[in-house]
């Protein structure tokens, strides 16, 4: 299976995020063991691995929600810092702020960043159009469907023009129809904005459908077991023989034990 190192996929792409020797221990428990990889500018990268391998810990270290035991994370060649970089996070649970309207949810991160009011309004209006929620701008999250509420969360995070958007199984609790719909929405928004996205999922089919490249984590202590280039045209078809082949390959690599 080809990797970015021996595939034209990476030839003309800028490295946006560089992770070197990422290690995380909880006391004597080694969870992440000297993980090294890059994320390219504008890439949609998926991370998969067996249950309990440390995928969420991995993402929490990338976001700097929790400290690394060892290692470094560089964004555009500079140590990642909340004071310099915009690193956004979409959680497993829908995290729209319940006391804010749709439009104020989208404005929230922009106001935290203290952007000029004119720019806040410009970005808010654009995201309302992109996610199709202009008619619902004054609604509160509890007045929305689950898929619409998740679109609010996605719009809020894309609005800040993140250097890196981290998504931790954001569709795992939704039914299949909603998941398919939101996967297509994510692809559309990602392509329109050119954002850099790292998406964790336990669903191999979802990873093949979304990703340009997949990182496969090993069981704990986790390392990068393999990377897989997903060189399929969009929109992708679940019954495409190459889609099926890749799904089976990644599944077997996770079930290696």
pLDDT in tens, 212-232: 999 999 988 999 999 999 999
Q: What phi and psi values does residue 207 have, to the nearest 5 degrees?
A: -60, -45
For residues 102 and 192, what is the distance between their CA atoms, to the nearest angstrom? 21
Average pLDDT, the chain: 89
pLDDT in tens, 59-109: 888 888 889 999 999 999 999 887 788 888 888 777 899 999 999 999 999
Region of 204 please: left (phi>0), alpha (psi -120 to 50) or beta: alpha
Q: What is the mean pLDDT of residues 193-198?
A: 92
Q: What is the mean pLDDT of residues 235-253?
A: 95
Q: Given a cut of 50, is residue 9 above it in pLDDT?
A: yes
Residue that wins the pLDDT comparison between 56 and 118: 118
User: How high is the pLDDT of residue 1?
Assistant: 47
Instruction: Name all domains of the chain by residue range, CATH numbers in brackets.
Output: 4-85+163-254 (3.40.50.300), 99-162 (no CATH)
- Of the candidates 33, 32, 43, 58, the one whose C-alpha atom is nearest the C-alpha of residue 10 is 43
Q: What is the mean pLDDT of residues 3-29?
A: 84
């Amino acid at each position: 299976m080809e990797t970015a190192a021996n595939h034209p996929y990476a030839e003309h792409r800028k490295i946006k995020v560089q992770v070197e020797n990422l290690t995380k221990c909880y006391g004597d428990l080694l969870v992440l063991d000297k993980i090294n990889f890059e994320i390219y500018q504008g890439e949609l990268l998926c991370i998969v691995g067996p249950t309990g391998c440390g995928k969420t810990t991995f993402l929490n270290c990338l976001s700097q929600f929790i400290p690394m035991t060892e290692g470094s994370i560089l964004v555009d060649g500079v140590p990642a810092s909340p004071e310099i970089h915009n690193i956004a996070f979409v959680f497993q649970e829908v995290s729209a702020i319940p006391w804010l309207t749709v439009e104020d949810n989208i404005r929230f991160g922009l106001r935290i960043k203290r952007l000029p009011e004119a720019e806040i309004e410009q970005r808010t209006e654009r995201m309302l159009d992109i996610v199709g929620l202009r008619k619902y701008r004054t609604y509160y999250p509890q007045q929305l469907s689950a898929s619409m509420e998740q679109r609010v969360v996605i719009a809020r995070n894309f609005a800040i023009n993140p250097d890196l958007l981290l998504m931790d199984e954001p569709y795992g609790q939704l039914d299949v129809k909603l998941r398919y719909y939101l996967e297509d929405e994510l692809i559309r928004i990602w392509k329109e904005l050119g954002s850099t996205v790292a998406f964790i999922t336990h669903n191999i089919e979802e990873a093949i459908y979304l990703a340009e490249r997949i990182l496969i984590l090993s069981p704990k202590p986790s390392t990068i077991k393999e990377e897989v280039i997903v060189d399929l045209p969009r929109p992708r078809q679940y019954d495409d023989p190459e889609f099926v082949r890749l799904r089976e390959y990644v599944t077997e690599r996770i079930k290696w034990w």
